[in-house]
Amino acid sequence: MIGKRLIKGFNIGLISPSSPENPEKIKESINFLKSQGFNIKEGKFLYEKVGYLAGEDRERAQDFMDMFKDETIDMILCMRGGYGSMRILPLIDYEIIRSNPKIFVGYSDITSLLNTINSRCGLITFHGPMGNSNFNDVDTLNSFLTTLMNGYRPYKLLNPLGIDLTRNIIGKATGKIVGGNLSLITATLGTPYEIDTKNNILFMEDINEQPYVIDRMLTQLHLSGKLHQCSGFIIGQFTGCSLPNYEKSLTINEVMLDKILSLNKPTLSNFMCGHDYPNLTLPIGVKAEIDCHKGEINILEPVVK
């Protein structure tokens, strides 16, 4: 299931399903999106703040559902990540989403929504930049617009020129792309919203986590059987996950070698997607192939119509 491709003049619904954002930043984002030729509808509770949440759970869930129910809205964009999206998962009416398929974009904490919407509704979602992202980065903006406006046929997903995809384990793997932020992926384990990795390609990224924390999360995925079930892996950006010295620590590369590459499944790393720039737009739930001979990701079906 896919939403309509984005066209200039379409209406974008802007919501905050997780943490709050500075009102000035929200206005700045709205002005930028308008400058790109889109109309913006603000969620009723877009500016709310309750501690580290952008409003009460019911308010954030209401904004989320209202945008899917609103026939004038063509695309839904999250303002930012942070914390809180998992809290609204039980408050979502997935039948309404199935009946009103639309482009839905976010990353980081939004990972739980991206994967749950896809698994429950079959709707392809998008791990991509949000309202508070730096759209002045040309590659980030181009990937965002090209994917959502022109992704109505199969295409290749490549890093920007001059940034190679690292081919760690040679081979090819096919399956649905699932995943996103590693912290959110592991947080679903043991819940009704647990990520499905069986015969799928797992994408992972994270920010500001020490190597032992990454190790712990990957170990949890390993012990749950989730890593063994994957057909292959895409490793994105692990921003701020290094240390000044490693006298008492493994490096991120050593952790990945131990927990991921040891499985000997086709693996691409250094994919420019995550909490860094460029931040490429990656469809979640789409059938894809990773070709570790050529170092490319092949999206095998349309992601918009």
**Alpha carbon distances (Å) from 170 to 36, 51, 148:** 40, 47, 30
Among the listed residues 18, 21, 133, 205, the single catalytic one is 205
Q: Is 205 tagged catalytic?
A: yes
Whether 99 is catalytic is no
From the candidates 16, 108, 133, 183, which is the catalytic residue? 108
Query: Quick check: is 143 catalytic?
Result: no
Instruction: Just list the catalytic residues.
Output: 108, 205, 275
